[in-house]
Amino acid sequence: MNILVINCGSSSLKYQLIDAKDESVLAKGLVERIGIEGSRIKHDTTGKERVIIEEVMNDHKRALELVLSSIINEEYGAIKSMDEIGAVGHRVVHGGEKFSESVIIDEEVMNAIEDCIELAPLHNPPNIMGIQACKELMPNIPMVAVFDTAFHQTIPKENYIYPLPYEYYEKYRIRRYGFHGTSHKYVSQRAADILGKDIKDLNIVTCHLGNGSSVTAVQGGKSIDTSMGFTPLEGLVMGTRSGDIDPAIIPFIMEKENIDFDEVNDILNKKSGVLGISGISSDFRDLEDIAIAGNERAKLALDIFCHRVIKYIAAYAAQMCSIDALVFTGGVGENSDIIREGICENLVCLNIIMDHELNKVRGKEAIISKNIGGVTIMVVPTNEELMIAKETLSLANNR
């Protein structure tokens, strides 16, 4: 069965058509600037040349229409007709407490996703637009919602309740939800497969390090704690997000800078993190280059980033008593030997001992620890689309 995976942002739409038989990608692409002047699709069919389609796309439905016609295009498409699409999997950012697993989308599910809009006001609305567009254009094809938050629904209460008046949890659903769940689930399962062990017998710490970053403690295949919280702002230092800070800093800078809540929110989400510290860039590749050239603030930003990751890994090691595997993924985790080294060299006390030669790997699955019986350190490129396709296939087959 071919599965179409859809990931809708407010002005973008990423897609992949995956053949579930052998998990190969038949076609993939990115629509940019939906509803903005200059909208275009970059479409790649495996084995064919990239096509760029520049056309006005006022909404997600028009974008999806053009995506579908590209997928079945005689010249540059991947399949002959829409009948060859067996199911559609949608990435949905927030499933609240309602969804601990992926689900077939029906009216009740749509209502529940809408009910989570207040928890993810920037993300759930475009996800809903994508689902609605698919429903209109492919009314008879089963659709599945795969939630970023679902994997973390196994986190125990002592790790998800904030030390605030308890009524805020009851009234407003304020709690730790965690994000990047599809990625943490995928890489922890891949790590167990590579080790040839049952995930139920393993304690794994997964580090998804990219523009947005989070660390998760995966015990016996279940998330028991994660660094992102009520929103993706908590936890690690990120490209532009602050991660954990003393909450008292917020009213303090509001007063000092004479700014309102929207402005401080913008600072914490878009002007902080390694960008804020370095004053130069949110891009880790840039920062590494500039730090190597001698820039102190870029070096400081990377050091602070690594130290926060170290803190979380050590905390999760303590929570699980021991770690069998430490997994790096995400654009930085998969590609940056410098960051991986900066993290692991400070974790020797936990028996996390890196092999510097093996660490020179980039963007592919590898074991990078010394083979001396300590924690297995691994690089596992994430593949959220494949995970979404697998979950979609399994639900579509069991209907």
331 binds ligand AMP (CB under 6 A): yes
331 is known to lie in a ligand binding site: yes
Element (H, E) at 253: helix 249-257
332 binds ligand AMP (CB under 6 A): yes
Distance in Å, CB of 180 to ligand AMP, minimum: 10
Count Cα atoms within 13 angstroms, Cβ side, for 379: 24
> In terms of Cα–Cα distance, which of 114, 117, 129, 107 is closest to 13?
129
200 is known to lie in a ligand binding site: no
Q: Which residues pair with 205 in a beta bridge?
A: 217, 326
Q: Candidates 35-43, 261-269, 328-336, 370-378 — which segment interacts with ligand AMP by CB under 6 A? A: 328-336
Count of other CB atoms within 10 angstroms of residue 77 = 20
288 binds ligand AMP (CB under 6 A): yes
Q: Which is nearer to ligand AMP, 98 or 340 (CB)?
A: 340
Q: Candidates 262-270, 282-290, 294-302, 313-321 — which segment interacts with ligand AMP by CB under 6 A? A: 282-290
Contact 175, 225 (CB under 8 A): no
Beta strands of 20-50 (E only): which ranges?
A: 24-32, 40-45
210 binds ligand AMP (CB under 6 A): yes
316 binds ligand AMP (CB under 6 A): no
Q: How far apart are CA 116 and CA 96, in angstroms?
A: 6
29 is known to lie in a ligand binding site: no
Q: How far apart are CA 28 and CA 91, in angstroms?
A: 15
Q: How far apart are CA 228 and CA 230, in angstroms?
A: 7
Q: Which is nearer to ligand AMP, 7 or 153 (CB)?
A: 7
Give the footprint of ligand AMP on residues 228-257 (CB under 6 A).
Answer: 239
Count of other CB atoms within 10 angstroms of residue 321 = 8
Kindly name the residue from 44, 148, 225, 337 that is annotated as catalytic.
148
Maximal CA-CA distance, the chain = 62
x/- string (CB under 6 A) for ligand AMP, residues 350-379? Answer: ------------------------------
Residue with tokens 């009314």: 139
**Count, residues in the chain:** 399
330 binds ligand AMP (CB under 6 A): yes
206 binds ligand AMP (CB under 6 A): no
Distance in Å, CB of 60 to ligand AMP, minimum: 22
210 is known to lie in a ligand binding site: yes
Q: Candidates 49-57, 103-111, 330-338, 383-391 — which segment interacts with ligand AMP by CB under 6 A? A: 330-338
CA angle 308–183–11, rounded 5-degree value:
95
Does the annotation mark 148 as catalytic?
yes
Contact 395, 104 (CB under 8 A): yes
Distance in Å, CB of 335 to ligand AMP, minimum: 3
Contact 287, 332 (CB under 8 A): no
285 binds ligand AMP (CB under 6 A): yes
Given the rule CB under 6 A, which residues bind ligand AMP?
210-211, 239, 283-285, 288, 330-332, 335-336
- Known binding-site positions: 7, 14, 91, 208-212, 283-285, 331-335, 384
- Known binding-site positions for Mg(2+): 7, 384
